[in-house]
Amino acid sequence: MRSTRSLLLPLAVTVTLIVAACGSNQGDNTLTLYSGRSEELVQPLIDQFEEATGIEIDVRYGESPELAATLLAEGEETEADVFYAQDPASLGSVAALLAELPNTILSSVDERYRDRDNRWVGTSGRVRSFVYHTGTDIPLPQTIDDVTNPAWASQIGVAPTNGSFLAFVAAMILERGEEATSEWLEALAANDPVDFPANSPIVAAVDARQIDGGLVNHYYLLRLRAEGAGADAENHFIPAGDVGSLVMPAGAGILASTSNLETARRFVEFLLSRQAQEFFATETFEYPLVEGVEQAEGLPPLSEIVAPDIDLSALSGVLDRATELVAEAGLV
Amino acid sequence: MIESPARVSPNLGVKRRSPSSGRGWLWAASAVLIPTLIPPATLVWLVASRGIDIGIPARRLTELFVNTLGLTIAVTTTGLLIGTLTAYVTARTDISGRRAWMLIAALPLVVPSYVAALTIIGATGPGGVINEWLGWSIPTPYGFVGSWLALSIFLAPMAHLTLVPALRQIDPSTEEAAIGLGASRLKAFLTVTIPQARPALVAAALLVGLYTISDFGAVSLLRFDTFTRAIYTLYVGQIDRTPAIALSLILMVMAVAIILVQRKATTRATYYSRRVSTPGIFKLRGWPKVAAAGALAVYTILSLLVPVGVMARWLIRGLGAGQGVDQFWDEAARSIGVAVAAAAVAVIAAFPVAMVTARIKGRGAGLINSAVWAGYAIPHIAVGVAVVTFALRAARPLYQSLALLIVTYMAMFLAQAMGSAEDSLLRASPDLEHASRGLGSGPFATLRRITLPLARPGLLAGAALVFLSVMKELPATLLLRPNGFETLAVRIWSATGEGFYTQAATAGLVLLAVSVVPLLAVTRRDFSD
């Protein structure tokens, strides 16, 4: 008797806790979001939306390509209504599952930062940057090829498995072709870079001068400063107009299989609202993509960054090839 | 029902009756094992149906294999050394405060490997806490060294917990005899104590080795390229899942091979109602005493004070910089809820399995035991990859459901629940059950009045172990959690990836605080005299 009772109690506690913690009820007033952007970055914004509209959002957080693969595997039976991804490549790879967006949504964003077939729209901009220690005496790279210069040997941090780095390599394939990209990756590998699991530890390592420079996205330094460090590191935007300063939007698309089209549109519209765009500028330190919203302090205007001219819609076609080339070069 | 022989002669009765009641337990145990067989079956089926061309160069596979195996051997060796030292000093010597030390040396078990790695990164380097407090900086040991250190320090408690009860059961008279015959204390330890503790040492090596081969958090954060890290990278970074599935199968085969080697090396135990003798306590004098106390102190600093100190420092630094800190109530509730549910399911499932392996035995029992251990051995990242694919293709209603997550936890950690239950049943003689049946009680009354109460401490200890494992589990949770079901482990992982160290530290401290409770329950049982 005692043993059965001792098992029943935890079971009862469990059921209560799970019901309390989960509380997912499907209906018109709920939306399922697959977010390749992390909870830390976007949950506060989602909370704002829920509060303002009374709509409940169930979020599945993951890496963008992972969620894209999940969507492809789930097909039309997916529960997801909206896919919110870090990068155009992930959005592009599920384009066939996405519904065409209305002009009211598309028109607020520059056409460089949205899909040519109107399946997804950029919501905030992230720029590839070269983060460096302010005390370094090595000349800063003027093109992306300069990072393979022996002066930077053993001094450059890379995150070869990170989605942003892979998207950058994919962009290089589009710009230069596979062979030239392979050569660049091999030259980088030969320069003995220090590999990291993600961007933020690169920035921390540069700030601590374990290394002098690193290939990252621009906002990680601002993020580190918000944590109370990062005073000895600075962002450098490679001025050559090559993929070193790729501007890559995070973006969103609506699943064609949704039974919640109106609510899904409201959410995407919300991501482009002034409230959300200001959140990106001040909280995640990204570039707002809608006209008339001020960017974060201390960043050059997006128009001053010499970005390459790349068809972001085509990135998805070469993303897996980019992963393979990075592995073949021995960077992972 | 005519069962007169049982009333006359219990032994005869058991022989006649066991086929029918035994078959019931066998069926129940086999049913429980279905979830543990799904991941290996799925992986084999997927790789077989997609062909073996996985597009990964042989050079890369060799590198992953060498790294994974090398780390496993290194961590098993040092983890076992540290665990043997802490267990011996706290269980068999008169070092002051030994009961407290015995508990303290078990506590690092609550620290998940990804938190361990995180604190190594946060403590070392020019920006690290060590430099901030002591004024000299240690370079961050990325790669093999860091992973080896983190895993050795934080897996040693597995060996400690296994060895403490074993060392205390060794009859001190044999050691005293050896010393009386002129052997040194060290020689007596090596030639008398260690051989007697061999089954426990093999069990501890297996636990540490399997955990290492399966570990994902430490090698990912400390950048050591093993199979688990490569599988996760491919899974989340590539649209095509074939390479991740193929690597998962290879890793699974490696883990199962370790189990098979271990099974060759040991035989099943039978020790009904063995009397635990009073453990022999050696008096430590002079430098061995100082060295033992020093070693315990250093281990405690590295395994407890550093992680808690580093996380507390991050929390304070973040608060100072004006960072808002989430409360993590929801995440804690989900982690606890799912861990309690998995522990309850695992204990219920473990009981028939333990009845088969401890009472019925025979060929079927051996197979069932192997299957349970295989379920424990298969690295969680591989289980996650397999179960996601299985649910998508063959069990759609279960896909992304809480039920599937809980059943998967049960399959992964059933061995922990079974081990404790089996241990309790082996300690209690089946004669009591025979007597109950012989005195006219039915099988259910015997189960309820005799067997369950006897197995109860083991079942509860097993539940605590499963709870602890589920709290810390990361890779399978990342892949299998329902939409919106963020646990503490998931939040620590994602916060670390995005550089939100204040959040990661807060969630980490909450996780440690919650995990200490079941660990205390386990140690109270294992360490009581």
pLDDT at A198 over 90: no
pLDDT band at B197 (very low <50, low <70, confident <90, very high): confident
Q: Which residues in chain B (228-247) have CB-CB distances under 8 A to chain A?
A: 230, 233-241
Query: Burial code of B336-348, b = ≥16 C-beta within 10 A, e = fewer?
Result: bbbbbbbbbbbbb
pLDDT at A184 over 70: yes
pLDDT band at B213 (very low <50, low <70, confident <90, very high): very high
Better-scored residue on pLDDT, A7 or A302: A302
Instruction: Encode pLDDT of B362-411 as tens digits.
Output: 788 888 888 898 888 899 999 999 999 999 888 888 998 999 999 999 99
* pLDDT given at position A28: 66
Q: How far apart are the first and last CA of chain A?
A: 57
pLDDT band at B278 (very low <50, low <70, confident <90, very high): low
β-partners of residue A60 are A34
B365–chain A nearest CA distance, Å = 25
pLDDT band at B520 (very low <50, low <70, confident <90, very high): confident
CB contact under 8 A, A61 and B452: no
Better-scored residue on pLDDT, A139 or B177: A139
Q: What is the ipTM of this complex?
A: 0.75
A160–chain B nearest CA distance, Å = 10
CB contact under 8 A, A226 and B334: no
* pLDDT given at position B366: 83
- Which chain B residue's Cα is nearest to A227? B318
CB contact under 8 A, A17 and B336: yes
Residues of chain A found within 8 Å of residue B221, distances taken between Cβ atoms: 197
Nearest Cα neighbor of A181 from A328, A312, A309 is A328
* pLDDT given at position A25: 44
pLDDT band at B427 (very low <50, low <70, confident <90, very high): confident
Give chain B's radius of gyration (CA, Å). 24
The H or E element containing residue B113 is helix B113-123
Q: How far apart are CA B300 and CA B86, in angstroms?
A: 10
CB contact under 8 A, B139 and A210: yes
Strands (DSSP E) along chain A, which ranges? 30-35, 56-61, 82-85, 121-133, 156-158, 194-195, 213-217, 233-236, 247-254, 287-288
Across the range B262-268, mean pLDDT stands at 63
The average confidence (pLDDT) of chain B is: 85
Nearest Cα neighbor of A131 from A67, A207, A72, A30 is A207
Share of chain B above pLDDT 70, in %: 90
* pLDDT given at position B260: 81
- Which chain A residue's Cα is nearest to B452? A3
Specify the pTM: 0.83
* pLDDT given at position A27: 53
Q: Nearest 10 degrees: CA dihedral of A290, A296, A297, A303?
A: -40
pLDDT at A3 over 60: no
Nearest Cα neighbor of A35 from A80, A4, A76 is A80
Across the range B131-137, mean pLDDT stands at 82
Report DSSP letters for B457-502, one per residue. HHHHHHHHHHHHHHHH--HHHHHHPPTT---HHHHHHHHHHTT-HH
Provide the token pair at B297: 């102190």
pLDDT at B139 over 90: no
Q: How far apart are CA B83 and CA B164, in angstroms?
A: 9
* pLDDT given at position B53: 64
Instruction: Encode pLDDT of B466-476 as tens digits.
Output: 999 999 999 99
A89–chain B nearest CA distance, Å = 10
β-partners of residue A130 are A215, A236
Provide the token pair at A298: 């201390």
Q: How far apart are CA A225 and CA A234, in angstroms?
A: 11
In which region does residue A54 sit, left (phi positive, over 0), alpha (psi from -120 to 50) or beta (all else)?
Answer: left
Across the range B174-192, mean pLDDT stands at 85
Give the relative orientation of helices B488-497 and B501-526 as an angle to the nearest 10 degrees. Answer: 140
Interchain CB contact of B503 with A (< 8 Å): yes
Better-scored residue on pLDDT, A315 or B266: A315
Instruction: Encode pLDDT of B23-81 as tens digits.
Output: 888 888 888 899 999 999 999 998 888 776 666 778 888 999 999 999 999 999 999 99
In the DSSP assignment, the letter for residue B120 is: H
**What residues contact B441, with CB distance under 8 A and at least 6 apart?**
B449, B450
pLDDT band at B18 (very low <50, low <70, confident <90, very high): very low
Q: How many CB atoms lie within 10 A of CB A13?
A: 15
Q: How many CB atoms lie within 10 A of CB B35?
A: 21
Across the range B194-214, mean pLDDT stands at 89
Instruction: Encode pLDDT of A226-265 as tens digits.
Output: 878 889 999 999 988 888 899 999 999 999 999 999 999 9
Instruction: Encode pLDDT of B144-178 as tens digits.
Output: 999 999 999 999 999 999 898 888 878 788 888 88
Better-scored residue on pLDDT, B102 or A163: B102
Interchain CB contact of B450 with A (< 8 Å): no
CB contact under 8 A, A320 and B140: no
Q: How far apart are CA B316 and CA B321, in angstroms?
A: 9
Of A2, A68, A226, the CB nearest to B239: A68
Q: Do the beta carbons of residue A246 and residue A171 sit within 8 Å? A: yes
Tell me if residue A157 falls in helix, strand or coil.
Answer: strand
CB contact under 8 A, B392 and A74: yes
Q: How far apart are CA B120 and CA A4, in angstroms?
A: 43
